[in-house]
Structure 1
């Protein structure tokens, strides 16, 4: 396909970008000892962008024939010309950058794609059964195995000429416990870019047992007292915080729209213990779920330092916003499917590990909470956030005490990061399952070390 795209572009001047994208989704869900759903969905085609009259034109076709692709180029050119008068700021030229060339294949592709469907079905059935039999109090459980296999070829008139393949498997287990009419749930999940062995660096049966144990333990858990508190955040909570409440605010299109990070380059926004990065690579450990070698503009996905020792030093860019800010693009342009235009999206976002052990941080915390297991929440362009926590433990005299339920964590992400006074040397990617949403989905990952900071813990208010 790459050769075909290259041959077509020889007939065009100006800027034209052709992106072939083939995507295969596979999914298996087991519940109550049986397979509830199996699905396979395939999508492939070519997305076309042109830069003409200072603006973009986009078109797409599900027909990969030369005639259909040429027709899509003409449609994109027509769209650019028609909208040019409506664009206030013209994009005169894209910044010069070393664009990717060659072919890449992320590890694990053949291992996962060639794994028989029967093996994936058996995995879901055995894992779901393990969750149900872990305790008599488990009333229901489910296990879903998902897999996304992608092939891409990106060719542009200014030098990109690249193709790559990757696969992203993931597993999610949920268990529900009941006692005296009260329900609670526990969830364990993992998602990676890589092979079968990478996905199961943790035994799936152990994941099932942990999900069931969490559901059962939460039945008898009490509630936290609401208010400001010292908290130790696990890598899953750290990942959710830096992705949702920091990462989106530094995506350059959001910056231009007025996010809280606008105008703050060079300013202190976090503790000097905090260095925050976004990378197309899987740093510190293999398999991060947002790994990719090249973005959808053909820019290599290097590691970008966003915050260096507490100072905001960079935004995340595509080629257009890089031109606006006079910097190099960071390789963050991503499209979900061939018919989607590339948007600025994160890849793998993380805080770098520090020098302390988790045990040392706990021992030096006389009073507070240990928060683990990210649940859904929300954040906005001001950095304000509220996240649910699956497992929260009271910290008393440097030791973990009772388990608590129904806990939330709230605050302004930049203020929380400014209060960081301890960062562990432990590191974990912990958000590789699921999707990030921003007009279109994207597979990402996030994580980091354990950190100690100050935040508002949501719970029951003490009686007056």
Structure 2
């Protein structure tokens, strides 16, 4: 019965977009796109022995986007009846026509793209739909209690579990006709250790595309233990000293650098606004050891949180090499920007909900591994730091960045001497990429918790191997 209903919904979308060539009321409409999403969202949060939040939200609706005389029009509706969809289509066309009366910079065209067709489903071990809310509450409660019981210095703990289950259908007048099933859970433990006037916060978490068993490859109690141990050790650590020096970045820090400081500069909408890489295609922007890519697939390692099979314009979301052996090769495109640059869409058009319009967004952004080992990097470092545990940071259109790190391990004469805290790294991302002289052989995605916030949320991921580079480490004197 459910399969019959889903087929009926897809038939309605197909009928809607095919009307572009058969109705006089659609005069001037060159493109119609209909995107239906039925979403199940759940969230559990425990903090300091109390349940702070339990939410289960079901939503469904359809976003309709049209291109009329060079202007986009968009409308959405929570109803999928034929009548309401036709009314939403009429509203989208009206919006486009109103914009067309005053808008000067109109859409020049959409790049021809091979439209995806068929069914796409996230690989999953342990169907989230089979996990009831009581089990999600139990693991959060147990992990939070375990973190607080770790030791006397641990004063507070918070554990959050979230998941998003999407059933999506996309049809457009250029031939896309896809059905997508997606599953993205995440789990995060945050612990505060305090002694006297000193306090430190540490976290450990994971976000994936997959199921319950993909998320909990490590026990929920192990995440709690790691976070608590990290906080207790950092409380006793000295503050890092500010200097420009050799830095070894762990996979999480590499992922944050790839996403925030490089990835946003190569999103074509930002390029058109004047980002630092605007005229650098074909130029050397990084060490020849650096190959940096953005992929809809979970390359190299499984279950990356930003994994998508098809973007929200119906284009298959493949792998785009941004930097190839140090040379800038590609920007990230939707169909509109690809037309302007005379290239193909890279499958980076994404919308968070049915009521959002697609934007150019990253998926999984990473540096490919090479042959070095972490031990070799440490042994060949006379003075520097091993920096671990990415925190939030900021970067601008010129690639200037500053990122927080949970841990900084001082390296002297090829050996790790001591743990430092309060560290940040900063610099120009492309200068840092140029300075890379060693790239590790073990790969990991490690920024899958949380969301990217470019105008609307998006689940993304990033990572890589350890890399050795030169950057500024900040701390307290």
Query: Which category of TM-score, normalised to the shorter sequence, fits these structures?
Result: over 0.9
Tell me, in whole angstroms, the C-alpha distance in 1 between the residues paired with 2:203 and 2:267: 30
What residue in structure 2 maps to residue 294 of structure 1?
310
Cα distance between partner residues in 1 of 2:149 and 2:75:
52
Q: Which residue of 2 aligns with 1:4?
A: 12
Aligned counterpart for 2:98 among listed residues 82, 97, 101: 82
Which residue number in structure 2 is paired with residue 136 of structure 1? 152
Return the match for 1:307 from 303, 320, 323: 323
Instruction: Confirm or deny: 8 A CA contact 1:276 1:305 kept in the other structure.
Output: yes
Q: CA deviation at 1:311?
A: 0.5
Deviation at 1:87, TM superposition (A): 3.1
TM-score by structure 1 length?
0.97
Query: Aligned residue for 2:458?
Result: 442
Distance apart, 1:109 and its partner CA: 7.8
- Given that 2:189 and 2:205 are in contact with CA atoms closer than 8 Å, whether structure 1 keeps it comes out as yes
Post-superposition, which runs of at least 4 consecutive aligned residues in structure 1 deviate over 3 A? none
Q: 2:118 aligns with which of 102, 106, 113?
A: 102
Equivalent residues of 1:198, 1:286 under 8 A apart: no
Find out whether 1:19 has 2:27 as its counterpart: no
Q: CA deviation at 1:11?
A: 2.1
| SS of equivalent residue, structure 2 residue 19 | coil
2:226 counterpart of 1:218: no
Structure 1 unaligned spans of 5+: none
Retained in 2: the 8 A contact 1:225–1:460? yes
Q: Is residue 325 from structure 1 mapped to residue 341 from structure 2 by the alignment?
A: yes
CA distance in 2, matches of 1:16, 1:142: 45
Summarize the alignment of residues 192-203 of structure 1 with structure 2, pairs less than 5 Å apart: 192-203=208-219
**Which residue, out of 152, 157, 163, partners 1:147?**
163
CA contact 1:431–1:445 (8 Å) conserved in 2: yes
Partner of 1:453: 469
CA distance in 2, matches of 1:368, 1:413: 18
Task: Give the secondary-structure state (helix, strand or coil) at the position aligned to 1:441.
Answer: coil
Q: Specify whether residues 366 and 307 from structure 1 end up closer, same or farther in structure 2 by C-alpha distance, changes over 3 A only.
A: same
- Give the aligned partner of residue 364 of structure 1: 380
Q: In 1, distance between residues paired with 2:476 and 2:193?
A: 23
Give, in angstroms, the shift of residue 118 of structure 1.
1.4
In the TM superposition, residue 119 of structure 1 has moved relative to its aligned partner by 1.2
- 1:202 Cα deviation after fit: 2.4
Maintained 8 Å contact 2:76/2:354? yes
2:143 counterpart residue number: 127
CA distance in 1, matches of 2:259, 2:218: 24
Moved more, 323-332 or 31-40: 31-40
Q: Which residue of 2 is the match for residue 208 of structure 1?
A: 224
Match of 2:400 in 1: 384
Mind listing any 5+ residue stretches in structure 2 that lack a counterpart?
1-8, 22-29
State how 1:271-290 maps to structure 2 within 5 Å. Answer: 271-290=287-306
Q: 1:109 to 1:7 in 2, by over 3 A?
A: farther
Shift of residue 92 of structure 1?
Answer: 4.0
Structure 2 Cα separation of the partners of residues 321 and 314 of structure 1: 12
3-state SS of paired residue (1:16): strand
TM-score normalized with structure 2 length: 0.95
Answer whether contact 2:399 2:428 (CA < 8 A) is retained.
yes
Q: Residue 157 in 1 paired to residue 165 in 2?
A: no
Paired with 2:232 and 2:191, the residues of 1 have a C-alpha distance of 9
Corresponding position of 2:46? 30
Report the CA distance between 1:201 and its aligned residue: 2.1
What SS class does the counterpart of residue 288 from structure 1 fall into? coil
Q: Are the counterparts in 2 of residues 109 and 167 from structure 1 also a CA contact under 8 Å?
A: no
Candidates 235, 240, 257, aligned match of 2:273: 257
The answer to whether the aligner puts 1:116 opposite 2:124 as a matched pair is no
Deviation of 1:379 after TM superposition, in Å, equals 0.6
* CA distance in structure 2 between the aligned counterparts of 1:250 and 1:438, rounded to whole angstroms: 14
1:240-251 map, 5 Å: 240-251=256-267
Residue 55 of structure 1 corresponds to 71
Aligned residues: 461
User: Judging changes above 3 Å, is the alpha-carbon distance between structure 1 residues 109 and 360 closer, same or farther for their aligned structure 2 residues?
Assistant: closer
Q: 1:342 aligns with which of 358, 363, 368?
A: 358
Correspondence for 1:169 among 185, 195, 202: 185
SS in 1 for 2:109: coil
